[in-house]
Amino acid sequence: MHVLVTGGAGFIGSHLVAYHLERGDRVSIVDNLSTGSIKNIEPFLHNPAFQFYKADILLWDRLKEVVSQVERIYHMAAIVGVKKVLEDPRAVMATNIAATERVFRAVAEVRPDAQVTIASSSEVYGFNTKGGFSETDDIVLRSGARLRWCYAVTKLADEFLAYSFMYKSGINVVIARLFNTIGPRQRGKYGMVVPTFVRQAVNNQPLTIYGDGLQTRSFCDVRDTVVALELLASSPAANGEIVNVGNDQEISILALAALVSKRAGSSSPFVFLSCKEAYGMEIDEITHRRPILDKLHELTGFEPKWLLLDTLDNLISLERRRLETV
Ligand SMILES: NC(=O)c1ccc[n+]([C@@H]2O[C@H](COP(=O)([O-])OP(=O)(O)OC[C@H]3O[C@@H](n4cnc5c(N)ncnc54)[C@H](O)[C@@H]3O)[C@@H](O)[C@H]2O)c1
């Protein structure tokens, strides 16, 4: 099979690339390296089954040509991360929606039988205070004056684009609502908590906790995420469905900081920052966010395999190794 991964030099995209190359598939990627990195794909660059196109997906003149050659597309390219979103919401609005539309247009025109999986986000559940989210839950969005929601709006727009193209052009789409995903190659600098805590703990720096730390999250190892995405893409029953993808084990940010500290053998203090101090403006902090995974399980039989502890140990040892080589 020939697979196209947009955003394939990013965190999750590069793991999808590795997964499909290991299975013997051909993989092409397009990435402008805005948050992705050539380092993420270095191991594949000499693989004849791998092709990297460095381009902005909004302008890429070979999009239709490459789409016409592939059987499957994972559309992962987007501007991601609360810090990045607050830094330039205009770019988020302009990129995330237009990129998805361009991919769907190309598929409808030159490869309507291709299978497409798009990466939506748990952010679309918005300010819903329910905690455990299932796909049929209402979406609660807040005022446009709170800029963090612009990312959720773009991901929701992507979902509606998917349904519009399914309805009008009959294309095959799975909408994966990804919850917090963690693993090697994720960077902390755009506001992701786990790589930030790991780097701080290994470097014996204070761990920075935003708010009171009592907010809870559920973290899924990227090795599980790519398996779930592949199973969904391969499952005819998942066609046309919105499906949560994640791990339903929940942990508070304070407990996470304590766990990372303990596993890294760090005695660093915790520093509490208000959201305003952390982001330079008020944001609506989500208190609890956990996926209900019944639909994913029913469609694919998928169960997350990796425990948070294993993922953290792996990340801590990778960060130690990185420090030894700088
Ligand atoms: N990581 C998570 O926890 C998480 C959670 C929910 C949803 N998602 C979604 O999963 C997808 C992948 O996220 P990630 O964490 O790997 O982020 P990432 O930033 O590592 O990957 C995104 C990739 O897209 C590329 N990109 C951005 N704009 C582009 C453009 N105009 N043209 C070409 N390439 C472009 C970036 O360079 C990067 O390599 C995104 O769509 C994101 O919204 C991620």
Burial of residue 141 (CB within 10 Å: 0-12, 13-18, 19+) is middle
Per-residue confidence band for 146, with pLDDT thresholds at 50, 70 and 90: confident
pLDDT over 70 percentage in the chain: 100
What are 103-133's pLDDT values in tens digits?
999 999 999 999 999 999 999 998 888 879 9
What are 304-321's pLDDT values in tens digits?
999 999 999 999 999 999
H/E segment holding residue 24: none
Residue 144 pLDDT exceeds 80: no
Kindly give the distance from the C-alpha atom of residue 79 to the centroid of ligand 1, in angstroms, as a whole number. Answer: 6
- The residue whose CA has the least distance to atom 26 of ligand 1 is 77
Decide which of 84 and 37 is more confident.
37
N- to C-terminal Cα separation, the chain = 39
Kindly give the distance from the C-alpha atom of residue 293 to the centroid of ligand 1, in angstroms, as a whole number. Answer: 22
Q: What's the pLDDT score for residue 160?
A: 97
Whether 215 lines ligand 1, by a CB cut-off of 6 Å, is: no
Least confident of 34-48, 56-70, 247-261, 273-287: 273-287
Whether 259 lines ligand 1, by a CB cut-off of 6 Å, is: no
Burial of residue 98 (CB within 10 Å: 0-12, 13-18, 19+) is middle
Residue 252 pLDDT exceeds 90: yes
Whether 125 lines ligand 1, by a CB cut-off of 6 Å, is: no
Q: Does domain 2-181+221-247 have CATH number 3.40.50.720?
A: yes
Least confident of 53-67, 177-191, 271-285: 271-285
Kindly give the distance from the C-alpha atom of residue 43 to the centroid of ligand 1, in angstroms, as a whole number. Answer: 20
Q: What's the pLDDT score for residue 281?
A: 72
What are 215-225's pLDDT values in tens digits?
999 999 999 99
Q: What's the pLDDT score for residue 86?
A: 85
User: What would the mean pLDDT of 66-87 be, rounded to a whole number?
Assistant: 92
Q: What's the pLDDT score for residue 169?
A: 94
Least confident of 66-70, 188-192, 251-255: 188-192
Half-sphere exposure of 216 (CA within 13 A, CB side): 14
pLDDT over 90 percentage in the chain: 82
Q: What's the pLDDT score for residue 226?
A: 98
Q: What's the pLDDT score for residue 64?
A: 98
Per-residue confidence band for 82, with pLDDT thresholds at 50, 70 and 90: confident
What are 269-295's pLDDT values in tens digits?
999 988 777 777 777 778 889 999 999
What is the residue-averaged pLDDT of the chain? 94
Q: What's the pLDDT score for residue 27?
A: 98
Q: What's the pLDDT score for residue 130?
A: 83
Ligand 1 mutation pick, 17, 19, 34, 286, max ligand atoms within 8 A of CB: 34
User: What would the mean pLDDT of 206-217 be, rounded to a whole number?
Assistant: 93
Q: What's the pLDDT score for residue 159?
A: 98
- How far is Cα 113 from Cα 26, in angstroms, rounded to an integer? 18
Per-residue confidence band for 85, with pLDDT thresholds at 50, 70 and 90: confident
Residue 84 pLDDT exceeds 90: no
Half-sphere exposure of 282 (CA within 13 A, CB side): 5
Q: Locate all alpha helices (DSSP H) within the chain, ordered by sequence.
A: 11-22, 38-41, 63-67, 82-87, 89-110, 149-169, 193-202, 222-234, 253-264, 275-279, 294-300, 308-325
pTM of the prediction? 0.96
Active site residues: 151
